[in-house]
């Protein structure tokens, strides 16, 4: 799932966490978090749900709204 990179970083910084902190909390490596925040790789829905819980924010804040046709 594509997530605007500024949202991921803003949520992490707002929680006063480093990329390393997030990686440890999710059982991922730091490079994965870096890739998510830089838009290099997409996030699975399960990881998005875990980030939402970790940051204490609604998942809707992180999601990209679908474009109306």
In this predicted model, which residue has the larger pLDDT, 14 or 62?
Answer: 14
Identify the band that residue 61 occupies on the pLDDT scale cut at 50, 70 and 90. Answer: confident
Global pTM value: 0.82
- Pairwise CA distance, residues 69 & 15, whole Å: 35
In this predicted model, which residue has the larger pLDDT, 64 or 38?
Answer: 38
Residues in the chain: 69
pLDDT for position 56: 94
- Pairwise CA distance, residues 52 & 62, whole Å: 8
Position 64 pLDDT exceeds 80: no
65: left (phi over 0), alpha (psi -120 to 50) or beta: beta
Domains in the chain, CATH or no CATH each: 5-62 (1.10.260.40)
pLDDT in tens, 5-54: 678 999 999 999 999 999 999 999 999 999 999 989 988 989 999 999 99
């Amino acid at each position: 799932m594509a997530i605007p990179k500024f949202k991921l970083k803003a949520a992490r910084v707002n929680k006063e966490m480093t990329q390393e902190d997030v990686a440890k909390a999710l059982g991922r490596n730091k490079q994965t978090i870096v890739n998510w925040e830089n838009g290099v790789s997409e996030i699975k829905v399960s990881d998005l749900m875990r980030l939402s819980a970790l940051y204490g924010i609604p998942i809707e804040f992180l999601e990209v709204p679908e474009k109306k046709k």
